[in-house]
Chain A
């Protein structure tokens, strides 16, 4: 195999790895949006907080990584539940922009809290994934990225299956389609809201731990969430499949752009893509277009 081609494959594999993390974060956006029609920008900060919680449990309290990881995920879920009950539920029925701005405000609060508790300087997480490289054929893949890819892939597949076959998943889909109708069918719509926020934020926190394991944690790591937001807009805000495909695709594109054009081109390519996609398919590649009645 020629060196150029091998290099390209390695770059692409790394891209798929970070794409899987993007997909996982995008999944958090989609879950919350599907149930409550809220674009929760604070997903980015929950992701950051997931990384810090892991740091606190594993480095601060000295817990084993296998205890710290579920605790961080639980922490994210707990935060999601509290936020949904305390802040989002009272905003029910308000204009979506207001609710969006509430989540922007929440994000700011979370960043400030993290800085108050842990300080502003970046930290690295205690290693819990072995660093021995992995080889797919001749191509080198970082083991952390491979683990991230597998975890994200499995999680998203589980969610896709749950949505199709589990009663709760059906309830969520019903709620997404028509809240009032779902409510009158005896579906516990407020319950669905809570579950969606808890699961969504837990997912984001988990993604944060994986992201932190690869690149370290900082209070500004939430910007990763902006890329995930691009994924959900391009893939469709209410489409899990869109999150998966969009995440992997954006991971690849970002990886190629930063290697062949230069790191500074990543964001311009990402957002350029977003604008082009929006002009062609305003409601995402896999999203549903809502028709406005006169």
Chain B
């Protein structure tokens, strides 16, 4: 197992090299596919250094919002602002270098690569090695790779407790571990804001709790703003600072978890009735599964 023999000078607290968390605001975003309005006038924001959850029934437009934010879809109207900068027209790679990282609903790891290489890929946009240096693996290229390896090992792999799988190809890993590797890769991007699309979907109780702990740690220790889409109400209510509810492509409620829980419109969206008590019961039931 590779470990450096001397204490590394790079072992410093996260905030020294990481940029400050970024705020994100979605302003009046409308998205049309042909005649269908997937999103209409969606407005919400994620405060720097907080956890914001976007929830809503299936087909409410949660993933569409994410795809607009990360640049796969271009909104028909409205703006996406990252720390006051309009990013609506930027291509995804550009947004990545501005500090936006995301994970996918159905894991988008590179199956042919090892865990380590997958994580290293996250740093791509911040590295400088050019073709000629790469060809000869000349000074700067070797130094950059070594520094990256050190950072990935000591900062990310240790933090997410995945050192035992670092040299395995991702295709042999369990679902929960793959999700964790995806998080690791996103962290390697040195994100200022992290978009998590259903980070605990399909996980068992224990894996969900691990992931919740990691998400909280990322927010607190790494100082990263987190925006997530999630169905697990227990998780959402536990760790979010702010919740936005979507239904049929519109924001129907927004506020602190407790406020949203009490909102009759939210209950109606989920249950078709306006009874907050029934919703509470159902949320409690979901939290227990």
Contacts and interface: CB of A to CB of B under 8 A. Distances in A.
Do A's and B's CB atoms come within 8 Å in the complex? yes
Interface of A: 294
Contacts of B104: 294
Nearest to A293: B106
Nearest to B73: A294
Contacts of A294: 63, 67, 72, 104-105, 108
Interface string B63-86: 100010000100000000000000
Contacts of B72: 294
B59 to A, nearest CB: 14
Interface of B: 63, 67, 72, 104-105, 108
A294 B105 CA distance: 9
Q: Give chain A's interface secondary structure class.
A: loop
Nearest to B72: A294
A128 to B, nearest CB: 54
6 contacts: A294-B63, A294-B67, A294-B72, A294-B104, A294-B105, A294-B108
A291 to B, nearest CB: 10
A294 B72 CA distance: 9
Contacts of B63: 294
Could you tell me the dominant secondary structure of chain B's interface residues? loop
Contacts, number: 6
B65 to A, nearest CB: 13
A294 B107 CA distance: 10
Contacts of B67: 294
A99 B72 CA distance: 31
A294 B65 CA distance: 13
A294 B195 CA distance: 15
A289 to B, nearest CB: 14
Contacts of B105: 294
A294 B67 CA distance: 9
**Nearest 6 CB-CB pairs, A to B?**
A294-B72, A294-B67, A294-B104, A294-B63, A294-B108, A294-B105
A29 B72 CA distance: 34
A213 B87 CA distance: 64
A294 B198 CA distance: 14
A94 to B, nearest CB: 15
Nearest to B105: A294
A199 to B, nearest CB: 36
A294 B108 CA distance: 9
A107 B104 CA distance: 42
B60 to A, nearest CB: 17
A81 to B, nearest CB: 34
A294 B63 CA distance: 10
A118 B72 CA distance: 57
Nearest to B66: A294
B66 to A, nearest CB: 9
B191 to A, nearest CB: 19
B239 to A, nearest CB: 25
A294 B104 CA distance: 8
B105 to A, nearest CB: 8
A156 B234 CA distance: 60
A95 to B, nearest CB: 12
Nearest to B104: A294
A290 to B, nearest CB: 16
A294 B73 CA distance: 11
B252 to A, nearest CB: 25
A258 B71 CA distance: 48
A90 to B, nearest CB: 21
Contacts of B108: 294
A294 B103 CA distance: 11
A33 B72 CA distance: 30
Nearest to B63: A294
A294 B70 CA distance: 12
